[in-house]
């Protein structure tokens, strides 16, 4: 699978997707008090994210963006930070385009 | 020794020194010293380490077969060996450099016995959460952990202890620390008088240790758990339980044949044991091969993978108990007896620990969550 260099290509869209991801995590009460303002590159696992909370995030992100992560993307690595989740979302929505 | 010869040597030791002391180890709930010494003498404590690090270089499918072979002689020895291999694999996967790398090399080379201290009072067996924390003071660090179950902790040369990264860290931000038991004060809390797996000597333990910073593994504990600790534990424990169940089935066959025609047609339980064992063997083989790929980095520990290794643990722990019970039905009083060649009592008592080692109820709850996103092949 090729990973689209999302940050460079889609500046504005990326900011919007990242904001939606962050809002989603806030709504899901993932790391409350932290996720609202945390740096997009911060390691969520080090901040105390738990495995089962991650599963909730996976489901919520799929529903929010109408995408389905292939199994090889369903790893701790993909969900390590807001920007990595954003990268994954953007590359998957990119693949869906004509 | 070549890795391909290791299973045969395990089978020989199981029939010899392991079987010779198994009943006494079980009765007295004591550490199987003779058996572990024999494993060390044959280089088998370093089985999971690659040859270039001074180990045997056995891959995961081979390690699973070794666990099965050992379990036929003594379940407690096999389980101690299996748990130790997991600790070795974690240490090797931890990206250690400098002094820690040297310490790991010493563990492998000297075949030091490493125990795991992941459980904790107030938390239980949920290994991705810690209450105790590493406290740093200048060049030194220390921790104070009340672990609820530490198998062979008192007998081990070293402990791999999980703790929060620091006093201000959330419960899930954990590190693992390689503690030399010589640098630790171990206090046994309470007794050890369980139903089975008595030789694993797994009491509650308070661990107070002072150590240098380099003993903290650099790899995040959560990554280590997902990639090495959980999958390899489930595969090797399952190897042990499969071996105990296969031994029980063999004793049931032996009992039936010894009775000859006088006992009428053979019990349907004999067939039941075979189909259960056949299913377990296939599932174990597949999970072992997949775990090998994750350990080498050829595959990623995805949600579906985690669900499959958790499913292996659930299936083997339940089916192996069913096989043990079927063997007991076939052997009757000879099976119920703690003595004699057709006894399945110890095997069954050992097997009954299987659903509790990481409680199946919790694994089912986790599995139900993972199933919401897992993509099966």
Residue A4: pLDDT over 60 = no
CB-based contact A46 B301, cutoff 8 Å = no
Taking the CA of residue B373 as centre, how many other CA atoms within 13 Å lie in the half-sphere pointing to its CB?
A: 29
Residue among A30, A42, A51 with most chain B CBs within 10 A, to mutate: A51
Residues of the domain holding B350: 221-370
Residue B264: what pLDDT? 86
Q: Does B225 share its domain with B366?
A: yes
Inter-chain residue contact A74 with B373, CB threshold 8 Å:
yes
Per the CB < 8 A criterion, the answer to whether B76 and B219 are in contact is no
Quote the pLDDT of residue B328: 98
Segment A25-38 shows an average pLDDT of 91
- Looking at residue B35, its pLDDT comes to 98
d(CA B240, CA B211): 34
Whether residue B333 is predicted with pLDDT greater than 50 in this model: the reply is yes
Closest residue, chain A, to B375 (C-alpha): A71
Residue with the larger pLDDT of the pair B70 and A30: B70
Tokens 């052997």 label which residue?
Answer: B331
In a domain, B265, yes or no: yes
Average pLDDT over residues B124-138: 90
CATH code assigned at B274: 1.20.140.10
Residue A50 vs residue B93, higher pLDDT: B93
Alpha-carbon span B188 to B262, nearest angstrom: 53
Asked if the model's pLDDT at residue A8 lies above 60, the reply is no
Residue B187 pLDDT exceeds 50:
yes
Instruction: Find out whether B113 and B147 touch, Cβ atoms under 8 Å.
Output: no
Closest partner residue to A52 among B300, B366, B377, by Cβ? Answer: B366
In a domain, residue B146? The reply is: yes
Q: pLDDT class for B96, splitting at 50, 70, 90? A: confident
Kindly tell me if the per-residue pLDDT of A24 is higher than 60.
Answer: yes
Please check whether residue B376 lies inside any domain of the structure.
Answer: no
Paired with B4 in beta bridges are none
The CATH code of the domain that includes B22 is 1.10.540.10
**pLDDT confidence tier of residue B375, bands split at 50, 70 and 90:** confident
SS3 label, residue B228: helix
Look at residue B122 and tell me if it is in a domain: yes
Same domain, B226 and B348: yes
**Is the pLDDT reported for residue B78 higher than 60?**
yes
Task: Identify whether residues B226 and B317 lie together within a single domain.
Answer: yes
CB within 8 Å of B365: residues ≥ 6 apart:
none
Contact A50 B172 (CB under 8 A): yes
Q: How far is A18 from chain B (nearest CA, A)?
A: 21
What pLDDT sits at residue B125?
A: 77
Spatial neighbors of B47 by CB under 8 A, at least 6 apart, are B3, B6, B55, B56, B58, B62, B63, B66, B85, B88
Encoding tokens for residue B73? 């002689």
The structural domains of chain A, ordered by start, are 6-96 (1.10.1200.10)
Ramachandran angles phi, psi of B86, nearest 5° = -65, -40
Distance from CA of B374 to the nearest CA of A (A): 7
Going by C-alpha positions, the residue among B159, B156, B158, B161 that lies closest to residue B175 is B161
Q: What is the pLDDT of residue A98?
A: 56
Residue A9 confidence (pLDDT): 55
Kindly tell me the sign of the dihedral angle through the C-alpha atoms of B81, B86, B91, B93: positive
- Residue A97 has a pLDDT of 62
Q: Which of B68, B92, B109 is the last residue of a domain?
A: B109
Where does chain B show beta strands of DSSP type E?
Answer: 114-117, 135-137, 140-147, 158-164, 174-180, 184-189, 204-212
In this complex, the residue of B129, B301, B370 whose CB is nearest that of residue A75 is B301
How many domains are contained in chain B? 3
ipTM of model:
0.82
Instruction: Decide if A50 touches B, using CB distance below 8 A.
Output: yes
Do B246 and B352 reside in the same domain of the chain?
yes
pLDDT the model gives residue B185: 97
Both B148 and B207 in one domain: the answer is yes
**Do B254 and B354 fall within a single domain?**
yes
Residues B187 and B302 in one domain: no
Query: Are B303 and A58 in contact (CB < 8 Å)?
Result: yes
Q: Is the pLDDT of residue A51 over 90?
A: no
Domain membership of residue B80 (yes or no) is yes
Burial class (CB in 10 A: 0-12, 13-18, 19+), B225: buried
Q: Which backbone phi and psi does B178 adopt, to 5 degrees?
A: -85, 100
Global pTM value:
0.94
Residues 6+ apart with CB under 8 A from B38: B13, B16, B17, B18
Average pLDDT over residues B155-181: 95
- Taking residue B140's Cβ as centre, other Cβ atoms within 10 Å add up to 11
Domain boundary residue, one of B87, B109, B131: B109
Q: What's the pLDDT at A1?
A: 46
Residue B323 lies in a domain: yes
Q: What pLDDT digit, counting tens, does each position of B226-268 carry? A: 999 999 999 999 999 999 999 999 999 999 999 988 878 999 9
Bridge partners of B143? B209
Partner residue opposite A48 with nearest CB, options B172, B226, B369: B172
Percent of chain B whose pLDDT exceeds 70: 100
- DSSP code, position B227: I
Asked which of A3-17, B154-168, B251-265 is least confident by mean pLDDT, the reply is A3-17
B230 and B358 co-located in one domain: yes
B187 forms bridges with which residues in the sheet?
Answer: B206
* Span B135-144, average pLDDT: 94
**Predicted confidence (pLDDT) at residue B108 exceeds the cutoff of 50:** yes
Query: Of A26, A76, A77, which Cα lies nearest the Cα of A50?
Result: A76
Domain assignment of residue B141, yes or no: yes
Considering only CB atoms, which chain B residues are within 8 Å of A73?
302
pLDDT mean across residues, chain B:
95
**What pLDDT, on the 0 to 100 scale, is given for residue B80?**
98
Q: How many CA atoms lie within 13 A of B118 on its CB side?
A: 25
Contact at CB, A77 and B369, closer than 8 angstroms: no
* CA angle B162–B167–B171, rounded 5-degree value: 55
Neighbours of A50 (CB within 10 A): 18
Q: Among residues B67, B111, B109, B107, which one has the least CA distance to residue B91? A: B107
pLDDT, mean of residues B48-70? 96
Residue B248 lies in a domain: yes
Q: Are residues B225 and B357 in the same domain?
A: yes
Q: What angle do CA B342, B343, B346 make, to 5 degrees?
A: 150
Q: What is the pLDDT of residues B15-45, one digit of tens each?
A: 999 999 999 999 999 999 999 999 999 999 9
Percentage of the residues of chain B whose pLDDT score is greater than 90: 90
* HSE-up (13 A, CA, CB side) for residue A48: 16
Q: Tell me how far CA of residue A17 lies from CA of A49, B133, B154, in angstroms.
A: 21, 36, 53
Same domain, yes or no, for B182 and B230? no
Say whether B300 and A75 touch across the interface (CB within 8 A). yes
- The Cβ-side half-sphere exposure at B178, using a 13 Å CA radius, reads 26
Per-residue pLDDT, averaged over B156-164, amounts to 97
**What does the pLDDT average to over B100-129?**
93
Using the Cβ of A33 and the Cβ atoms of chain B, whether some distance falls under 8 Å is answered with no
Instruction: Give the separation between CA A40 and CA A53, rounded to whole angstroms.
Output: 18
B175 lies in the same domain as B228:
no
Q: Which of A46, A48, A71 sits opposite B375 (nearest CB)?
A: A71
CB contact under 8 A, B369 and A49: no
Between B102-106, B125-129, B220-224, B242-246, the lowest mean confidence (pLDDT) is in B125-129
- Which residues of chain B does A68 touch, with a Cβ-Cβ cutoff of 8 Å? 375
Domain boundary among B55, B90, B109: B109
Q: Are residues B360 and B257 in the same domain?
A: yes
Separation in Å, CA of A91 to nearest CA in chain B: 18
**So what's the pLDDT on residue B127?**
86
């Amino acid at each position: 699978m090729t990973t689209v260099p999302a940050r460079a290509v889609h500046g504005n869209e990326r900011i919007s997707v990242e904001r939606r991801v962050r809002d989603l995590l806030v709504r899901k009460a993932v790391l409350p008090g932290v996720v609202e303002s945390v740096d997009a590159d911060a390691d969520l696992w080090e901040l105390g994210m738990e495995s089962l909370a991650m599963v909730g995030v996976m489901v919520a992100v799929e529903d929010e963006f109408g995408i389905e992560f292939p199994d090889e993307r369903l790893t701790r690595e993909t969900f390590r930070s807001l920007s990595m989740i954003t990268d994954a979302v953007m590359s998957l929505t990119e693949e869906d385009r004509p | 020794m070549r890795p391909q010869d290791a299973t045969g040597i395990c089978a020989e030791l199981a029939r010899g020194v392991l079987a010779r002391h198994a009943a006494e180890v079980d009765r007295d709930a004591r550490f199987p010293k003779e058996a572990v010494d024999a494993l060390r003498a044959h280089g088998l404590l370093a089985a999971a380490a690659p040859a270039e690090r001074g180990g045997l270089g056995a891959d995961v499918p081979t390690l699973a077969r070794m666990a099965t072979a050992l379990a036929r002689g003594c379940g407690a020895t096999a389980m101690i060996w299996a748990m130790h291999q997991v600790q070795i694999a974690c240490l090797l996967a931890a990206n250690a450099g400098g002094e820690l790398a040297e310490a790991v090399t010493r563990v492998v080379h000297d075949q030091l016995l490493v125990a795991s201290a992941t459980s904790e009072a107030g938390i239980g067996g949920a290994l991705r959460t810690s209450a105790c924390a590493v406290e740093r003071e200048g060049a030194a660090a220390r921790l104070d952990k009340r672990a609820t179950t530490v198998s062979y902790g008192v007998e081990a040369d070293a402990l791999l202890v999980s703790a929060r990264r620091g006093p201000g860290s959330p419960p899930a931000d954990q590190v693992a620390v390689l503690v030399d038991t010589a640098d630790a004060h171990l206090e046994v809390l309470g007794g050890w008088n369980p139903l089975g797996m008595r030789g694993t000597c797994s009491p509650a333990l308070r661990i107070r240790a002072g150590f240098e910073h380099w003993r903290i593994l650099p790899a995040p504990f959560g990554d280590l758990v997902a990639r090495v600790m959980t999958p390899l534990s489930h595969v090797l424990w399952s190897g042990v339980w499969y071996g105990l169940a296969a031994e029980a089935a063999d004793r049931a066959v032996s009992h039936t044949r010894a009775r000859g025609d006088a006992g009428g047609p053979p019990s349907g339980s004999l067939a039941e044991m075979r189909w259960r064992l056949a299913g377990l063997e296939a599932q174990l083989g597949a999970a072992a091969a997949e775990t090998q790929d994750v350990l080498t980095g050829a595959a990623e520990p995805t949600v579906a993978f985690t669900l499959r290794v958790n499913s292996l643990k659930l299936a083997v722990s339940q089916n192996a108990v069913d096989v043990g019970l079927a063997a007991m039905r076939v052997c009757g009083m000879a099976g119920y007896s703690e003595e004699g060649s057709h006894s399945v009592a110890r095997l069954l008592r050992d097997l009954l620990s299987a659903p509790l080692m990481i409680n199946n109820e919790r694994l089912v709850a986790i599995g139900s969550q993972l199933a919401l996103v897992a993509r099966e092949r």
